């Protein structure tokens, strides 16, 4: 009986918890890269140059990773907008137009690096003793044997700099460095192959992976939870409950405009902190940072205020790229 009671309480608790956050909407937000070139324009990614003429494939692969990620961001931009799940009209990942020659470019992304490899091989003899039977008797005699240990040690380091130029003038620099060590060991036989080759592949892949998003914006799918709206007015409770069910259905289908319209009607009848927060969230999703900030201030919700402040910084970044900012409004 006690176990049944515990399970019933748990189910009730889960139902209440889910009900409080049942109104939610999945929408894309924009993640701005660490490096943004004000003014935007046409961008050409040039293969990084090896300072010592060695391991040239490193520079090619790192540059290609950066270029491909920018192209991927452009494709994602089209896919997301076509899906209808991007509510903010000024969100875009197309910060630059990627071109295939220096002559076409406003901005040239280039750089250089030095990749140094060191390899040491060594071999040493070991001795050990085992005990063996003497002519099948119980007596044992020591037997000493020898064997060789071969070791192949590899060390590799890379240091370089990515440089962005506009009209021949440097507008940004980014230094990078990394190092790896590897050892191959075997007994009796020399290790096959060279550890340097594998280390070069690893450090190339690692650098390319860590730098590919340095200049590339991206869309991130987030789940936005709306607050549960309550009332102390008993005469209004039934109507409010019915309205919140319609809100949930609209948000589930992605109809933000219809949900926002109901929130506005609720606000005309009875205001609350949670309702102010929901209206702020509606405006945040359509990219109207000014009105979102006003409603978040009214709600007193610190997480909403922090989030809209971050969005305002993103908005400023977009403006600095000479891209249009259109702050949409609800038309009811």
CATH number for the domain including 256?
1.25.40.10
DSSP structure string for 293-318: HHHHHHHT-HHHHHHHHHHHHHHHHH
Please provide the distance, in angstroms rounded to a whole number, between the alpha carbons at the two ends of the chain: 55
Q: Is residue 28 part of a domain?
A: no
Position 9 scores a pLDDT of 42
* Weakest-pLDDT range from 74-78, 122-126, 318-322: 122-126
Q: Which residues contact 40 (CB under 8 A, 6 or more apart)?
A: 95, 96, 321, 322, 323
pTM confidence score: 0.79
**For residue 8, is pLDDT > 60?**
no
What does the mean pLDDT of the chain come to? 88
**Residues 121 and 151 sit within 8 Å (Cβ to Cβ):** yes
Structure tokens at 20: 């409080």
Q: Domain total for the chain?
A: 1
- Domain range for 295 is 226-320
- Give the residues across from 166 on adjacent strands: 107, 169
Q: Is residue 185 part of a domain?
A: no
Q: Is residue 63 part of a domain?
A: no
Position 136 scores a pLDDT of 64
Q: Is residue 216 part of a domain?
A: no
Q: What is the pLDDT of residues 109-167, one digit of tens each?
A: 999 999 999 887 777 777 777 777 776 666 777 777 666 676 667 899 999 999 999 99
Spatial distance between the Cα atoms of 31 and 70, rounded to a whole number of angstroms: 13
Smallest CA-to-CA distance from 305 within 314, 315, 295 is with: 295
Q: Is residue 96 part of a domain?
A: no
**For residue 17, is pLDDT > 70?**
no
Position 15 scores a pLDDT of 37
Q: What is the pLDDT of residues 166-194, one digit of tens each?
A: 999 999 999 999 999 877 667 666 655 55
* Strand 169-187 relative to strand 140-166, pairing: antiparallel
Q: Is residue 250 part of a domain?
A: yes
Q: Is residue 268 part of a domain?
A: yes
Smallest CA-to-CA distance from 265 within 285, 242, 234, 287 is with: 242
Spatial distance between the Cα atoms of 233 and 252, rounded to a whole number of angstroms: 27
Question: For 305-317, what is the mean pLDDT?
Answer: 97
**Per-residue confidence band for 14, with pLDDT thresholds at 50, 70 and 90:** very low
Q: What is the pLDDT of residues 117-126, one digit of tens each?
A: 988 777 777 7
Position 125 scores a pLDDT of 75
**Per-residue confidence band for 27, with pLDDT thresholds at 50, 70 and 90:** very high
**Residues 50 and 200 sit within 8 Å (Cβ to Cβ):** no
Spatial distance between the Cα atoms of 261 and 273, rounded to a whole number of angstroms: 17
Structure tokens at 75: 């494709």
Spatial distance between the Cα atoms of 277 and 331, rounded to a whole number of angstroms: 19
Q: Is residue 51 part of a domain?
A: no
């Amino acid at each position: 009986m006690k176990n049944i009671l515990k399970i019933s309480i748990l189910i009730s608790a889960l139902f209440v918890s889910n009900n409080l956050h049942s109104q939610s909407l999945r929408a894309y937000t924009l993640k701005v890269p660490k490096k943004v070139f004000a003014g935007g324009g046409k961008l050409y990614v040039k293969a990084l140059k090896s300072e010592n003429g060695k391991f040239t494939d490193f520079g090619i692969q790192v540059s290609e990773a950066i270029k491909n990620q920018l192209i991927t961001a452009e494709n994602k931009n089209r896919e997301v907008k076509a899906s209808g799940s991007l509510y903010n009209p000024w969100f875009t990942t197309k910060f630059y137009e990627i071109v295939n020659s220096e002559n076409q470019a406003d901005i040239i992304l280039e750089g250089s690096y030095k990749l140094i490899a060191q390899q040491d091989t060594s071999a040493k003899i070991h001795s050990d003793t085992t005990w063996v039977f003497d002519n099948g008797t119980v007596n044992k005699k020591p037997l000493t044997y020898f064997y060789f240990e071969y070791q192949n040690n590899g060390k590799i380091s890379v240091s370089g700099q990515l440089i962005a130029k506009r009209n021949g003038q440097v507008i940004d620099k980014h230094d990078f460095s990394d190092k790896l060590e590897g050892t191959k060991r075997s007994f009796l036989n020399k290790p096959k192959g060279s550890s340097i080759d594998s280390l070069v592949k690893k450090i190339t892949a690692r650098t390319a992976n860590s730098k590919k998003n340095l200049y590339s914006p991206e869309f991130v799918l987030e789940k936005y939870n709306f607050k549960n709206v309550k009332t102390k007015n008993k005469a209004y409770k039934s109507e409010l409950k019915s309205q919140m069910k319609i809100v949930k259905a609209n948000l589930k289908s992605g109809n933000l405009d219809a949900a926002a319209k109901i929130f506005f009607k609720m606000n005309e009848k009875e205001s609350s902190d949670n309702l102010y927060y929901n209206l702020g969230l509606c405006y945040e999703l359509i990219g109207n940072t000014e009105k979102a900030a006003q409603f978040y201030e009214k709600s007193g919700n610190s997480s909403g205020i922090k989030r809209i402040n971050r969005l305002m910084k993103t908005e400023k970044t977009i403006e600095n790229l000479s891209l249009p900012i259109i702050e949409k409004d609800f038309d009811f």
